[in-house]
Every structure is written in C-alpha cells, then in structure tokens.
Amino acid sequence: MLNAIIIEDERLAMQDLVRNLSEVLPDVHIVATLSSVHESIEYLSQTPEADIIFSDVQLPDGLSFEIFNHTSVDIPVIFITGYDEFIMNAFEYNGIDYLLKPVSKEELSKAILKYKMLEKHFRTGNKQVEKLAQQFTDKKKSRLLVRKGLENISLRLADIVLFYTENKIVYVADNTGRKYLADKNLTDLEEELDNNIFFRANRQYIININYVKGFKAYEKVKLQVDLSIPELNHCIIISQETAPAFRKWMYEA
C-alpha cells in the first residue's frame, strides 16, 4: 500500500488526480488532501505517516515550497503544476519528479515507477545509515562520577567490578576492593551501561563480565557467581528465571 498526501487547491484537479492514482495504483491510500500552504504546514508539522506527497506549486496563499521551508518533512514529493518555471526549485525541496498539468495516466505511472526505484535505493542505503547511527546511539559512557567522602571521583567503568545496593544506598566496588557511593539507582545505571559488559544479576547487583571468574549451581535451580576479586566478599545469586539470560550473556561475551 502506498500512503499519499495530496496538496492541491483546485477541486477538479484534485478529483482527477485521486481518480488517476486509483487506476494507476489500486492500493493507494490517500492519507490527507490539503489546499493551502498554511493548512499543509499545520498538518505536516505533526509528522504524519506517509510515503509520498503530490503537490501543486501555486497555492492560494503562496508557493508550496514554503511548506517545506517551515517543516522538517523528508517525504519525497512529486510536484504537479501548470507552469514549468519552478522546475529547478522543485528538486531543492524533496522533489523526485515535476509533472505539468494536465497529467496523463502514463506520466503519473512513470513518476510512481521512479518513486519505487528511488524507494528501493534509499531503503537499502538507509539501513546502512541506521546501522551507523545506531553505533553512535548505543555508544555507552566510559567513566562514571562517584563519591568518596567529600571527594568526587571519575572512575573508569572498566575498573568497576560491581554495583550493589545496601540499605537503599548504591555502592560501587572497583578492582582494588575500594568502595564508592553512586548517585543513581541500579535501574538508571542499567540503562546507561553497556549490556554486553554489565549484567543485572538481581535486584541488588549489577556485575562486570570481566571480573566474573565463573559460576556454579546453587540450590539446584539457581546459580552462584564467583568473582575474580577475592577481596569483594559478595554472595551473588542468579534466580532460576534470570539464569538463561545470564548463561547467554556469558556464552556470547
């Protein structure tokens, strides 16, 4: 299904376009029909779900290019107008084609074919862009600000063995056995930390995989984690429900 928005102030021209679109592309769905620059800006500012826009250039309150100057819409546009003087402007505003009125079904069909070819191209390209963007989005911090008495210390996450709660206070233990105070709860920390390195063992602990020496069965259905820092004498138990996720985390590290 192709979701389309039509921007056209002439009622007959809009009806003709809707009819021709339905014949050329039976599965087209007209999301909205708009008739002015003002109305279009108001509608498109709400980031509607649409695949393509068919737009006249000259509208009662100005040129349709103003719509795209005032919105952040990245939907491809096929401009339809009775004048060819705006053709160069069209391609500065998401334009992928420029059709002169009256538009024949053949011209409309070619324009849609062009859209589909471009859609395939950009969809493939966008996956790479999204993948690259995701790397930046998923990039986690490398240090954490903790407290020791009145002193604020920037601690490397790589040196943190575990986070734990005790009497509603969150502590941070490093690989030298030192203990610090954290200003965030475990849930907030869990969201910020790289889940390939840190694991929420239970309601009390978040552990660093680089300091997990191993694990063993505990009460048959649970697991007990063995840390490689003996100075940190913590009994960390993984519940039966969490055990599969913990094993997966360990095996995929």
Q: Taking 80 as the threshold, does the pLDDT of residue 112 lie above it? A: yes
Q: What are phi and psi of 109, to 5 degrees?
A: -65, -40
Dist CA 148 CA 213 (whole Å): 27
Q: Which helix (H) or strand (E) holds 59?
A: strand 58-59
pLDDT of res. 140? 57
Q: Does domain 2-137 have CATH number 3.40.50.2300?
A: yes
pTM check: above 0.85: no
Tokens read off for 122: 């950009």
Check pLDDT > 90 for residue 120: no
Share of the chain above pLDDT 90, in %: 64
126 has a pLDDT exceeding 50? no
> Which are the contacts of 52, defined by CB distance < 8 A and separation ≥ 6?
2, 3, 4, 5, 75, 76, 77, 78, 115
pLDDT at position 16 over 50: yes
pLDDT of res. 118: 80
Q: Which two tokens stand for residue 41?
A: 């800006």
Please list the alpha-helical segments (H only) found in 138-223: 186-192
Give the mean pLDDT of the chain.
87
Strands (DSSP E) contained in 110-227 are: 143-148, 151-156, 160-166, 169-174, 179-181, 198-200, 205-208, 212-218, 222-227
pLDDT tens, residue by residue, 159-218? 999 999 999 999 999 999 899 999 999 999 998 899 999 999 999 999 999 999 999 999
- 3-state class of 9 per DSSP? coil
What pLDDT, on the 0 to 100 scale, is given for residue 129?
A: 42
**Of 28, 80, 85, 92, residue with least CA distance to 55:** 80
**What pLDDT is recorded for position 162?**
96
pLDDT band at residue 132, thresholds of 50, 70 and 90?
very low
Class of domain 143-251: mainly beta
Q: Is 141 exposed, middle or buried (0-12, 13-18, 19+ CB in 10 A)?
A: exposed
Q: How high is the pLDDT of residue 123?
A: 54
pLDDT band at 136 (very low <50, low <70, confident <90, very high): very low
Write down the pLDDT at residue 133: 44
Q: Please state the rounded mean pLDDT for residues 72-97.
A: 82
Q: How far is the C-alpha of 104 from the C-alpha of 24, rounded, in Å?
A: 10
Burial pattern 168-205, b for ≥16 Cβ within 10 A else e, equals eebebbbbeeeebebeeebeebeeebeeebbbbbbeeb
Q: Which of 223, 224, 250 is nearest to 235 (CA)?
A: 224
Structural domain spans, the chain: 2-137, 143-251
pLDDT score, position 122: 52
